[in-house]
Amino acid sequence: MWYANAVHFRTQLDAALARTIGTPHVVVLDAIGMSDIDFTGARSLRQVLDELDRRHIMVAIARVGERVRRSLARAGLLARIGETRFFASVNEAVTAMRPEET
């Protein structure tokens, strides 16, 4: 995620959230295609996290590479998201973040 696609990322996420029925519990970001995150990308992701926090929607990230993980750490986003919300696969993230049945 970088300056050239940060706005597109936010637009696509907003559109996906608008299409959901009811309130989503979690957003899983599949980071397999991300090779880096620059200042603008980090700022955009921080804004997304702020908005999702306001809406009480958790975030998980799947298939993130070490380079992106280091960029997230430098931006303070790794700690904000939490190490326990990074997963090896999308399926693992969805399964782990699924709300408990009551």
Query: 53 or 6: whose pLDDT is higher?
Result: 53
**Domain 6-97: CATH class, spelled out:** alpha beta
Q: pLDDT value at position 23?
A: 87
C-alpha distances out from residue 71 to 9, 24, 38, 40, Å: 17, 27, 8, 12
| d(C-alpha 7, C-alpha 79), whole Å | 23
pLDDT at 3: 86
One-letter identity of residue 78: L
Residue spans of the domains in the chain: they are 6-97
The average pLDDT across 85-99 equals 96
62-87 pLDDT, tens digit per residue, is 999 999 999 999 999 999 999 999 99
Q: Tell me: the pLDDT tens digits for 7-61?
A: 999 999 999 999 999 989 999 999 999 999 999 999 999 999 999 999 999 999 9
Alpha helix ranges (H) inside 1-102: 6-19, 39-54, 66-74, 77-81, 90-97
Overall pTM surpassing 0.75 (yes/no): yes
Note whether 42 and 71 are within 8 A (CB): yes
